[in-house]
């Protein structure tokens, strides 16, 4: 019995999905149907790209034509004279930057303050549970001081308490 012409065969494997999709796009431009399997690379990212876990697969009937096209595409891509390629006009030397963000360490100011309140109350309650009622009042006073200090906007606080020389 002859092998199934619709069975998928491994054409090549790559380290990144971007590289595999680039190969697939080039082969599809040649009229060769291609499939990229990258699920394994998403599941084992701890390898850090040391294994070629992204697979580029073609039908058995298209395998020889795909291998020849891939070889030709790789050969032709090395022969590009980049000094002759028009990359468009140069970008502006001083681009317009977006206004500074009001976010604090990536958090919105309100959520940042709520987070500080939550962590402070959580810590003071844990301290209260471990140390007992004797430290309840000082722990809550410290928590209130931290909450008030955390609720003040960061811009209102001085950058450094003492001027540097």
Tens-place pLDDT, residues 88-97: 887 777 777 7
Over the stretch 15-48, which tens digit does the pLDDT of each residue have?
888 999 999 999 999 999 999 998 766 665 555 5
pLDDT confidence of residue 94: 77
Instruction: Classify 153 in phi/psi space as left (phi over 0), alpha (psi -120 to 50) or beta.
Output: beta
Does 7 score more than 60 pLDDT?
yes
Q: How confident is the model at residue 67 (pLDDT cuts 50, 70, 90)?
A: very high
| Helices 63-78, 17-29: inter-axial angle, 10-degree rounding | 110
Q: Chain centroid to CA 5: how far?
A: 39
Q: Using the predicted structure, report yes or no on whether residue 100 has a pLDDT greater than 70.
A: no
Strand 54-59 to strand 8-14: parallel, antiparallel, or no bridges (unpaired)? Answer: antiparallel
Per-residue pLDDT, 44: 57
**Helices 109-131 and 136-151, axial angle in degrees (round to 10):** 170
Residues 120-161: pLDDT tens digits? Answer: 778 777 777 777 767 767 777 777 777 777 666 655 555 555
**Which contiguous run of DSSP H or E holds residue 121?**
helix 109-131
Angle at 139 between CA 138 and CA 141, to 5 degrees: 65
């Amino acid at each position: 019995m002859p092998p199934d012409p619709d069975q998928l065969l491994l054409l090549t494997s790559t380290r990144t999905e971007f590289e595999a999709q680039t190969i697939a796009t080039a082969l599809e431009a040649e009229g060769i149907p291609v499939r990229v399997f990258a699920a394994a690379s998403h599941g084992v990212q701890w390898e850090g790209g040391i294994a070629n876990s992204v697979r580029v697969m073609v039908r058995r009937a298209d395998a020889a034509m795909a291998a020849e096209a891939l070889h030709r595409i790789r050969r032709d891509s090395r022969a590009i004279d980049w000094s002759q390629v028009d990359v468009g006009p140069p970008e502006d030397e001083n681009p317009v930057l977006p206004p500074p963000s009001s976010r604090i360490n990536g958090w919105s100011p309100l959520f940042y303050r709520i987070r500080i309140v939550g962590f402070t109350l959580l810590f003071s309650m844990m301290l209260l549970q471990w140390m007992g009622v004797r430290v309840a009042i000082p722990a809550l006073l410290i928590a209130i001081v931290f909450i008030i200090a955390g609720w003040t906007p960061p811009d209102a606080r001085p950058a450094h308490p003492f001027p540097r020389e």
